[in-house]
Amino acid sequence: MAHIILKRSSFFHNLDIIAATCGCKEKIALVLKDNAYGHGLLEMAALASEYGITKAVVRHVAEAERIERYFDYILILADTAPSTNEKFRYAINSLEDIAALHVNCKVELKVDTGMHRHGIAPELLEEAFQRIYNRKLRLTGLFSHHRSADCLSSEWFWQRHNFEALKKAAVSLQQHYGFEPLTFHLNNSAALFREGACPDTMVRVGIAAYGVLELEPTLPAPALEPVLSLYAYKIASRTLNPRDRVGYSGTYTAETSHDVSTYDIGYADGLMRSYAPRFRTPQGHTILGRISMDNTSFNTSAEELLIFNDARKAARASNTIAYEILTALKPHLPRKVV
């Protein structure tokens, strides 16, 4: 059956590099949203905990509940469903979130330092503090997000500058309202490696931990190792005659007589149709014809076929980014840690 292999040693190697860059592993909040970028939520949570990571970031409360036993701190990016779990921190993405969150829960305030997607505008900082206080929420943190940390441009600098100013304003508001000292965090993977240090309480790292961070060529990139490999198994082989055509609509036509085999993976597993025709496996095999729902044909007869071991290369063939390649991989694929 098509399956995913997760390399523990590569994941730990990446976490070593991340910990060395931000100062210590206690500062790492591992981003496990969207099934841990397709790697498998429980598999990666267990590995992270084994390594000594104590903080995680997810999108929904339901994900946080599944991994609760592995961590001391879980930031929930976009959900207001109630929970009394003391480990959970709810992100406030807008003033409206404050009224939606249940009284007494722990919250972290997202501020807009320039991405203009969500987060409180700097001029509304004081109002947000007041509303959080009035609503009897427990504010524990202030954070923001970089929009262009992977590009060589000035944005990375002025977003950091804006965040530092907001940190300062937040400290005096925190003291005024009697909240506990705040956790501050701005950097994602790309921002961490640009900064080369962590001037905040923690970093929120996703793609670098999975080993497929991409930066502009002019920016120094760390020597990370991809954690995930995708394999498929052969269902059938045949020999094509010249002019035989393969798959739906027969978009591939054999010019010479050669072998074709069909494997048990398709777009319903996350092998997007846009892979064809440019994609090549690490061994150089190509897709013949269209990708079907559960099947794809390649010009090889191997029993087991390594589809990819570096999502960045698959991304280039299908004109997207490694994040999309990985999160497309469906939860039903078996995952094995080696």
> Mask: binding to ligand PLP, 62-101, rule CB under 6 A, as x and -?
---------------x------------------------
Q: Which of residues 2-31 bind ligand PLP (CB under 6 A)?
A: 31
Min CB(269)–ligand PLP separation in Å: 22
Work out the burial of residue 228: count CB atoms within 10 Å of its CB; fewer than 13 is exposed, 13-18 middle, 19 or more buried: buried
The answer to whether 311 and 297 have CB atoms below 8 angstroms apart is: no
* Closer of 215 and 265 to ligand PLP (Cβ): 215
Q: Which of residues 201-220 bind ligand PLP (CB under 6 A)?
A: 204-208
Tell me if residue 117 falls in helix, strand or coil: coil
Min CB(227)–ligand PLP separation in Å: 13
Give me the helices (H) in the chain, please.
8-22, 33-37, 41-51, 61-67, 95-100, 125-134, 155-177, 189-195, 311-317, 322-327
Instruction: Tell me how far apart the alpha carbons of residues 119 and 141 are, in angstroms, rounded to a whole number.
Output: 13
Min CB(204)–ligand PLP separation in Å: 4
Q: Do you know the residue count of the chain?
A: 338
* Closer of 202 and 240 to ligand PLP (Cβ): 202
Total binding residues toward ligand PLP, as defined by CB under 6 A: 12
Instruction: Tell me how far apart the alpha carbons of residues 101 and 64 are, in angstroms, rounded to a whole number.
Output: 16
Instruction: Tell me how far apart the alpha carbons of residues 15 and 164 are, in angstroms, rounded to a whole number.
Output: 26
Q: Does 111 bind ligand PLP (CB under 6 A)?
A: no
Min CB(289)–ligand PLP separation in Å: 34
Min CB(330)–ligand PLP separation in Å: 19
Catalytic residues: 33, 248
Min CB(210)–ligand PLP separation in Å: 8
**Stretch (H or E) spanning 234:** strand 228-240
Instruction: Tell me how far apart the alpha carbons of residues 325 and 312 are, in angstroms, rounded to a whole number.
Output: 8
Which residue in the shown chain puts its C-beta closest to ligand PLP?
Answer: 206
Q: Check residue 215 and report its DSSP letter.
A: -
**Torsion region of 243: left, alpha or beta (phi above 0 gives left; psi -120 to 50 gives alpha):** left
Q: Does 145 bind ligand PLP (CB under 6 A)?
A: yes
* Closer of 18 and 137 to ligand PLP (Cβ): 18
Which one of residues 188, 281, 295, 296 is an interface residue with ligand PLP (CB under 6 A)?
188
Options 199-207, 220-228, 257-265, 289-297: segment touching ligand PLP (CB under 6 A):
199-207
Query: DSSP string of 249-311?
Result: GG-EE-SS-EEEEEES--TTTT--GGGTTT-B-TT--BB-S---SS-EEES---SEEEEES-H
> Mask: binding to ligand PLP, 282-301, rule CB under 6 A, as x and -?
--------------------
Q: Does 270 bind ligand PLP (CB under 6 A)?
A: no
Q: Which residues bind ligand PLP (CB under 6 A)?
A: 31, 33, 77, 145, 188-190, 204-208
